[in-house]
Structure 1
Amino acid sequence: MRLATLRADPDLSRFDPLARIISHNRFSTGHGGWSQLVGNYEDDLDSMLPGYAQHTSPMLSTLAHWEAGSHGGYDSSYALKIATRPRKGAQNVAIKRLTFRKRCPIRFETYFTFKPEATDLKLGETDVRSVGLLFDLQGGDSDAHAQRVMPHLRFLNALDGEHVQKWQFKRQSTEFRPLGTSDKTLSHYHLSPDGWEDLPGGNQRLCYNEIPTKVNWTYLRFDFDLASMQALAFQCNDRIFDMSDFDSIRMPAMKNLWCMLNFALFAETDTDKRAFLYVDSVCISGDF
């Protein structure tokens, strides 16, 4: 009965959710709780680390372009747009902030596409450096050995003009820096360009259409267990990848982040033009 109900719903039948749907965002109906990743600061906004200071708010977009007006979403007029600044190496991040009530397997599914800003009449297939996702998780305040755990996964599309096309993960972050004078606020920019490792067997060629205004939607699924704090599975389109060598950024639990369940999506440009990550919809499910 449950499977029949899901398949009868055109908004959900494209996903394969676990037992309970925690969140289902169709960006044709609004932002759905996805907002700008604002860096920590204290006393002065200028105390924010530069990596965070470059971030801007995600927006709702019709995927406008010059030939036909707009592309639209997967099956509606709007998608979430995460746009970098027009500076080589610039990044932008959108985040959804939740907490969990059970340590269980969770599944993150989305349909996405990416492209550079179409500022000239050529393909630009190497203009976007990377797109990716990360979770920011922490155990509960009663856990004996709680950690803050941050799985990171990115598709490195290009680097310095070379078309790379492979998936990478990260288990190292930059050092924490204290902000202000109260000894309460710390910050680290975990999306720094250092420390990325290749996912074994992670080379993949994604659909990237023939002119700079065309897009095709790509499916992604990432499974993670909140009990063991380990990745379970990763799929992109028709490829299912071996995650046995995958690991996450790990650190001691922070004093005010108990049961944190944050999800983030990011984009990075490889040229002095904006990179766009478009997200049509996201389904987050679990065994709650």
Structure 2
Amino acid sequence: MQPYPHRFADPQLDKFDPLGRILVHDTFSAGLNGWIGLIGNYEDSLTKMLPVFRPMNQPMLSTAVGWDSGSHGAMSGPYAMKIATRPIKGAMNLALKRMTFRKLGRIQLEAYIAAKPEPSEATLSIEDLRSFGMFMDLQSRQYRGLPHLRFLNCLDGELKHTWQFKQQTADDNVVSSSARTRSLQHLYPHGWEDVPDGRQDTCYNELPTKMNWQYLKVGVDLRDMSFTSFQFNDREFDVSGMGVMRMEPWANLDCMLNIGFFVETDSDKRSFLFVDSVLLSGDF
């Protein structure tokens, strides 16, 4: 009889399907573990920051309080990481973890997440959430690559329920008087393309205060900055038609491995993305 994989000894790991080496395993009942909000690049003055980054704020630890049930809690403990937009239609917020890699190979990001509009009124509010998703910011000596995926739930009040990716190279701007510091506009709303056969009905539930934890898995090959896998709940998608934003390397970013999650609102109401736990693994 073959021995069980080591993750079976830990129920917190057994809910994931990692590659051979676990690089990150974060559960937010243990704190934010280095996850932080995105501060747009600038030099000389904060006014040099691009407008898309200015409304963003920091993630927080949350018990997901609701008016009818008290504290919902996370899937794996009392606290989840909560990413909240401002109450402005089209506003986005995100959280990321900044790391580096030690070898080119495949990586895989897995997470349990829940996306909801703020339950500020007794209506279902399903149209108030525009999108949620993940991104990476990676750099080898050959490429800078930015894999992006989002679930477009609703756009201008019309339900879409479609996964999308970005591969168009984003604009960049010099944001310093010395011309040494640049900022990349990869988070602006233009440039999204539909994932082939990417429509998916997800679990939203029947009340604005209810939450359902959902599974996300995304694989990327660092060698050519390409998608290797994509799964959400029970759906495994064909990644052969999905591209990655790829460009020449930037200065000062060798071996960069940043992972992140974001959420957007489609109304003048805050939208939330709760992250219960994250696992990043590699085949090296």
TM-score (norm 2): 0.97
Q: Deviations over 1:128-185 (max 9, x none)?
A: 1000001101103xxxxx1111010000010011111010000124421111211101
Matches within 5 A, 1:137-216: 137-140=138-141, 146-216=142-212
3-state DSSP of counterpart to 1:126: helix
In the other structure, the counterpart of 1:103 is 104
3-state DSSP of counterpart to 2:6: helix
3-state DSSP of counterpart to 2:47: helix
Deviation of residue 2 (structure 1)?
A: 6.8
In the other structure, the counterpart of 1:243 is 239
3-state DSSP of counterpart to 1:111: strand
In the other structure, the counterpart of 2:80 is 79
In the other structure, the counterpart of 1:42 is 43
3-state DSSP of counterpart to 1:102: coil
Q: Which moved more, 1:170-179 or 1:106-115?
A: 170-179
3-state DSSP of counterpart to 1:216: coil
Matches within 5 A, 1:276-287: 276-287=272-283
In the other structure, the counterpart of 2:129 is 128
Q: Which moved more, 1:271-280 or 1:168-177?
A: 168-177
In the other structure, the counterpart of 1:275 is 271
2-structure distance, mates of 1:35, 1:79: 14
User: What is the identity, as a one-letter code, of the residue corresponding to 2:48?
Assistant: S
User: What is the identity, as a one-letter code, of the residue corresponding to 2:91?
Assistant: A
User: What is the identity, as a one-letter code, of the residue corresponding to 2:58?
Assistant: S
User: What is the identity, as a one-letter code, of the residue corresponding to 1:126?
Assistant: E
Deviation of residue 255 (structure 1)?
A: 1.3
* Residues 169 and 247, structure 2, Cα contact 8 Å, conserved in 1: no
Runs of 4 or more consecutive aligned structure 1 residues displaced over 2 Å after TM superposition = 1-5
* Residues 157 and 164, structure 1, Cα contact 8 Å, conserved in 2: yes
1-structure distance, mates of 2:27, 2:188: 30
In the other structure, the counterpart of 1:8 is 9
3-state DSSP of counterpart to 1:153: strand
3-state DSSP of counterpart to 2:236: strand
* Residues 38 and 53, structure 2, Cα contact 8 Å, conserved in 1: yes
1-structure distance, mates of 2:94, 2:3: 34
* Residues 52 and 189, structure 1, Cα contact 8 Å, conserved in 2: no
- Percentage of matched positions with identical amino acids: 52
- The alpha-carbon distance between structure 1 residues 2 and 48, as it changes in their structure 2 partners (threshold 3 A), is farther
* Residues 19 and 282, structure 2, Cα contact 8 Å, conserved in 1: yes
1-structure distance, mates of 2:64, 2:218: 26
Matched, 1:257 2:253: yes
* Residues 137 and 149, structure 1, Cα contact 8 Å, conserved in 2: yes
1-structure distance, mates of 2:3, 2:64: 34
2-structure distance, mates of 1:3, 1:45: 53
In the other structure, the counterpart of 1:143 is none
Q: Deviations over 1:12-49 (max 9, x none)?
A: 00001111100000011000111011100111111101
2-structure distance, mates of 1:2, 1:261: 32
Deviation of residue 8 (structure 1)?
A: 2.3
Cα RMSD (Å): 1.1
Q: Deviations over 1:201-226 (max 9, x none)?
A: 10001100101000100001001111
2-structure distance, mates of 1:2, 1:159: 49
3-state DSSP of counterpart to 2:86: coil
TM-score (norm 1): 0.96
